[in-house]
Structure 1
Amino acid sequence: LNGVSKWILEALCQNQGSLEYRSLNAQLSKHFTVAEETMRTIFFDNNSFAIEEGKEKASGAEIISPDSIIVAKTSARLCQNKTCQGCDNFHLCRYYVCGGCTFKDKCKNSHDLRSPQNAKILEKCDLQGLTEKQIFQLLLQNDPFLLPEICAHYNKGDGESGSCKFNTTCTKLHMCLHFLKGDCTFGLVCKRYHAIGAQGMKLFKQYSNENITGLYKIYRNKLIIQDQKPRPAPGEYHSCVSESDREEICLFFVRRNCQYNERCVRVHWHLPYKWQMWEGESMTWKNMDDMENIEKAYCDPANAMSRTDEQIFRVLTLQRFVPLVDFIKMIYRGSPVRRLSTASSVSHPPHYILTTEWLWYWRDDGGAWVEYGQDGTGDAQASLSSQTLENIYLADKNGDIEFIAGSQKYKLYFKGGHGLQMYQQNLRYNTIREVRRRPRFVSAHDVEAKLSSSSSQSTVVTVPSNWDKKALPEIGYKACALHLTKIWRRIVTALFTPTMPQRRITILIIESVIKEDSNLPNGYKVVRKHLFHGTDKSLVEAICEQNFDWRMCGVHGTAYGKGSYFARDASYSHKFAAGPRSKVMFVALVLVGDYTKGQSQYVRPPAKGRGTALYDSCVDHVTDPSIFVIFEKHQIYPEYIIKYT
């Protein structure tokens, strides 16, 4: 653990093992100034802390909601044998840890936390700096053998003791599990105990009064640790990276040309899909075997479970049962499963290869799955297509959409209900049909064929009229030098030089960036500006290939929001053009649209008034803006590169 992590661990143990994030953060800020990325690494390290998400929303740059509970964790345990040699657990008296050992110095079990055996465990678990009281607090809420177990049978059934048959002789705690978790909705009318009665207190005879007083919180902490949901491995977290980015395969890497390399926030994988299973012991996502067959089964909407030729063969030959992936619950052998994929095909231009094409199906009366927009068996064709549904779904995954098929009106619900993931409902008869969204299957062979085929790159791309069409690359980009006689060189020079110190600047070359996805959106009366962005020379190729992404390109400030910064004046961007001799600056064509003054906590532009529409960008001064913050890549086109000394 680093210094900040140790301080947090001590603070939690000093406060009965847990604190609300707002309280912990207030105390922490008095001692440390911690970067957001460091905080994220600390709190999402499953070996040190568990988190119960609160109901409030995290605002601005906060990584956790203020009312979330942070609980201290440890892998340290008490040895149950106490006579073993070379053990990896503490050799301590259980009742000494619980605070109620009556034998004191005469106890046959150790009361020495600093003995050679225990000192080894303290060092291994990085607990040397904690006091004895703090370590015992950690053990109480982490070691499953120190607290009486909550009776599961008592919390089921309608009898006075639930379904527990032992009643007064039960060695487990009879208490409302939901009350201890803090989510019992029955309150005073709950038929389960919300307090430890005389019978329950017999289980705590050898516990100190202080620990008995704090039992509710100790149990609450223990349950939070037990209920902690799987999280991706720490290395998969990246500052200010959305969950969708972390679960999206890098399209450029699949196409063998991601220039960001290890800086890339997306997943690098050779296929446009990836199946993984959560491994609880190592707390990481592990790649699944037979990935292509799982994908092939998943692409068939009729399959609720994975099926492969090998599995069918085993069934026919009466061999042992082979576990299947449950596509509805997304589990395998009881563990969570996830499918990563490239971006949806509707979010990129048609000539982009290896995006994921999602198809939408509904189930007819005969049990057959029919794609939307296609003719069903005896049913009228729906007015929606897969492409239309995909666009609507990506805009609001929790929403719904009304449509017409023949003379009937339907509503399609994207968020599950009625035991289904998605469904459509007839608005007249209230009948319900299951809906499934599945990708079009692409094999590993298909991927190689698409990559090697020139036909996949032959789509005509519209480019500005001033470009040399012969220079247009088949894939990626090409930088073409602008000659001194070219009018565009004179225009770019005129944009660049006015605010730069004339005596010290020599333009070496101006290049025009020609890309396959060259056009910004048209059809709207949106304000466009040529703006400057200084950067390191090592990032030029990546920016030309994959556009600006501030999470990978570096930060030019956060005063007006967390996004890509562009300047009206070249002199401002000159500060960020790194290089001992020659420097590099982009002239980008930017859709600034409607803008408002930015704030440091913004991760996207704010809403316009009370409506749902957002501003397009943020600026330093609304009346005379010189700095523009852009949050979406599709608003930016890196049009020119200026290399100068």
Structure 2
Amino acid sequence: MECDNHEDYIEKICTLQYDVLLKDNQSAINEYVDFCSTRQILSIFDFNNKQLRLFGSSISTKEAEKRFFDLQNELLIENIKARKIDGILWWYETWDATWQQYNAEITADIEHHYNTNVSSVIILNELGEQVKIDFHKLEEIYGTRIKRIRRSKIDELQPIYWKLTPLNIEQFLLDSESTEYLWIKDDFDKKMKGLYTRFITIERIQNMRLFKQFSILHEEYLTKYGKIDNGTMRFLYHGCPESATRKIIERGFNRSYCGVNGCVYGRGVYFSTDSSFSDKYANPNEKKEKRMFYSRVLLGRSMIGNSTMCEPADGYDTTTNGTHIFVCYYDSQCYPEYLLTYM
């Protein structure tokens, strides 16, 4: 295999955290090898040493490394949902304040002792160091070095494309070349192309508490309105000032703020299929940056609304202007999955 820039040719070794899952899924391995080949990356799976060796340019190798960790997470979530394995994960905080999973063997060891209700235990970490795991303080201790640790359990409702994290709420910056990013950006541009000067970021909001509430209601809508139409679930836009974004990310949409920007079609939370309409309510900050949510919304049956309505009539779930505006009246009816930032 040849590389365009020989000086940039590197080797990268990745740990096979879930080697058993990979061995049982040859199609996933084949798909990953093809992914690497198209980027001129040589990938070698060494199951004996639980390693993946990557050879190629630094940029392409970094991309292949990221895809590999995503692949392992996807396989883990798939198997948890299929009830083939336990969904318990143990994490430690690294020097740059990000969270890293312990490998499967260490996780099993920590979890075993955790369930015996001991206050602490001495184990070997991935570097072969004898470290103390303090379950009361949730710390890994090695001499004067102390790392925070956390225990998490993967929820079966978690979307397979979400990143695994021990945190209850987290925002993940999407790769501008990923399918997920391009799909959202393309939809945004259907109405907004030429109306902004710079598109900055798309962040995925992972708030499992809010998502579970939404998912429970979504199941009811699937039963009521059918799976063919995905229970009337749509992705819609909601523009807002930057000051409102943190509350929405942490607590969800709140219709008690109705009236700040008018309530012509009902006293609820407003969404639109038209990004240029929602842009009118995305007030810029001091840097002239705007914020807009691209949210999951359960429409159900919708009726024409008016300014006096505090909820839709019996038999209906939302109100509308009849074209692109939809108004929700229940907190769990909408989930703020993506936050778009632009100028």
TM-score computed with the length of structure 2 as normaliser: 0.50
- Considering Cα pairs closer than 8 Å and 6+ residues apart, tell me whether 1 or 2 has the greater RCO: 2
Larger radius of gyration: 1
Q: Which TM-score applies when normalising by structure 1?
A: 0.27
More strand by share: 2
